[in-house]
């Protein structure tokens, strides 16, 4: 099958990619390796040509999963991975030093079973290291043929400009959905000014806008259990927004997940959402959104549900926010 395509810097990818994180990380009990392999291959069968992973996910396990089960189909997809954010001595942390980046990259290549990653991101900004130094490490990796394009994840417009002055940045990856609008503060404008593609992670709001959450009783090790928007008392307020969103999706003739993805796609031809899932049925539902066209009235009604300040709770806990460089919204600044 084929899907519509979009450009991310020098790369042409399917209009909807696959975020591979939740096959190995972050959302409670992991699927079996067999089920994960089946989903990855089915994604390629459906026409997805953009797979996104990172050193952090499963502490390298996600890269190993991709290396073992789909690298025999390497010519069919663009491969993206990330460095800097990882587990160090059992603790989540940041290391943006050039020597650490070089080491992480070499380990990633080994886990993936390849000698080249098409798009390699700085996963987060390590404020202890000038971003110019971290980008410089990726420039040297590109010159050595180990990576192709250079990307940044969860970074502010000011940081993007500093990085872009060292070497052209191909992609910015940041959370973006109808209920996470931080990129609209400054990052999307900076990307368009500089000709940088935008990759939207969690485009269905970590399952919330896929109608997958009805309470805050999460499995052990599910990161949503410590995210303010996903727990009480904020969750009950937000579920009322979901009720309206669900009704709007039905009126539009699509599922809530498709409405969310359609909204993200409608934000510009330079935006590529990368939803993640562990379900073949949900994967097929997500891919079908690439062919849905929402009219301006539907887009406006989505925006009317998620007006500034409508969502209760900040995006991240204080500890997680400390690792984020992306701009805060005005209502977040009021409570920061």
What's the pLDDT at 270?
97
Q: How confident is the model at residue 332 (pLDDT cuts 50, 70, 90)?
A: confident
Q: Which superfamily does 5-335 belong to?
A: NADP-dependent oxidoreductase domain (3.20.20.100)
pLDDT tens-place string over residues 78-103: 999 999 999 888 888 999 999 999 99
Share of the chain above pLDDT 90, in %: 93
What's the pLDDT at 170?
98
Average pLDDT value over all residues in the chain: 96
Distances from the Cα of 132 to the Cα of 6, 58, 75, 103, 128, angstroms: 28, 28, 32, 18, 12
Give the range among 43-52, 83-92, 119-128, 182-191 with minimum mean pLDDT: 83-92
What's the pLDDT at 306?
98
What's the pLDDT at 88?
86
pLDDT tens-place string over residues 127-138: 999 999 999 999
Distances from the Cα of 312 to the Cα of 100, 126, 196, 306, angstroms: 38, 29, 31, 11
Distance of alpha carbon 284 from alpha carbon 307, whole angstroms: 30
Strand order in the sheet with 18-19: 18-19, 50-52, 78-83, 117-122, 147-153, 171-175, 197-201, 271-274
Catalytic residue among 57, 121, 176, 316: 57
Mean pLDDT, residues 7-20: 97
What's the pLDDT at 336?
57
Nearest to 117 by CA among 168, 155, 68, 83: 83
What's the pLDDT at 335?
63
| The three-state (H, E, C) secondary structure of 264-293, written as one string | HHCCCCCEEEECCCCCHHHHHHHHHHHHCC
- Does 277 or 87 have the greater pLDDT score? 277
Question: Which residue ranges make up each domain of the chain?
Answer: 5-335
pLDDT at 245 over 90: yes
pLDDT tens-place string over residues 293-330: 999 999 999 999 999 999 999 999 998 999 999 999 98
What's the pLDDT at 143?
98
Mean pLDDT, residues 105-129: 98
Distance of alpha carbon 165 from alpha carbon 196, whole angstroms: 13
pLDDT tens-place string over residues 17-35: 999 999 998 898 899 999 9
What's the pLDDT at 296?
97
Question: Could you give the count of Cα atoms lying within 13 Å of 154 in the half-sphere of its Cβ?
Answer: 21
pLDDT tens-place string over residues 196-236: 999 999 999 999 999 999 999 999 989 999 999 999 999 99
- Does 336 or 285 have the greater pLDDT score? 285
57 flagged as catalytic: yes
């Amino acid at each position: 099958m084929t899907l519509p395509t979009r450009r991310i810097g020098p790369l042409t990818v399917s209009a909807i990619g696959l975020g591979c994180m939740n096959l190995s990380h972050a959302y409670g009990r992991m699927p079996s390796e067999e089920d994960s392999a089946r989903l990855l291959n089915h994604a390629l069968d459906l026409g997805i040509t953009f797979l996104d992973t990172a050193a952090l996910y499963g502490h390298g396990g996600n890269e190993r999963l991709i290396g073992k089960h789909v690298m025999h189909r390497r010519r069919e997809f663009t491969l993206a991975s990330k460095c800097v954010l990882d587990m160090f001595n059992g603790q989540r942390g940041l290391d943006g030093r050039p020597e650490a980046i070089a080491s992480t990259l070499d380990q990633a290549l080994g886990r993936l079973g390849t000698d080249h990653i098409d798009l390699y991101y700085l996963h987060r900004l390590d404020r202890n290291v000038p971003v110019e130094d971290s980008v410089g490490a990726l420039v040297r990796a590109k010159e050595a043929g180990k990576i192709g394009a250079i990307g940044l994840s969860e970074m502010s417009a000011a940081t993007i400009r500093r990085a872009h002055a060292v070497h052209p940045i191909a992609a910015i990856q940041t959370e973006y959905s109808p209920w996470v609008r931080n990129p609209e503060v400054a990052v999307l404008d900076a990307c368009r000014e500089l000709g940088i593609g935008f990759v939207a992670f969690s485009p269905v709001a970590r399952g919330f806008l896929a109608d997958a959450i009805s309470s805050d009783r999460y499995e052990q090790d599910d990161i949503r259990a410590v995210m303010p928007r996903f727990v009480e008392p904020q969750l009950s307020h937000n579920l009322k927004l979901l009720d309206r969103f669900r009704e709007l999706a039905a009126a539009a003739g699509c599922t809530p997940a498709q409405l969310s993805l359609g909204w993200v796609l409608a934000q510009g031809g330079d935006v590529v959402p990368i939803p993640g899932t562990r379900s073949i049925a949900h994967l097929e539902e997500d891919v079908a959104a690439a062919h849905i066209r929402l009219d301006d009235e539907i887009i406006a009604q989505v925006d009317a549900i998620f007006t500034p300040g409508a969502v209760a709770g900040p995006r991240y806990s204080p500890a997680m926010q400390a690792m984020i460089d992306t701009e805060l919204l005005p209502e977040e600044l009021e409570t920061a």
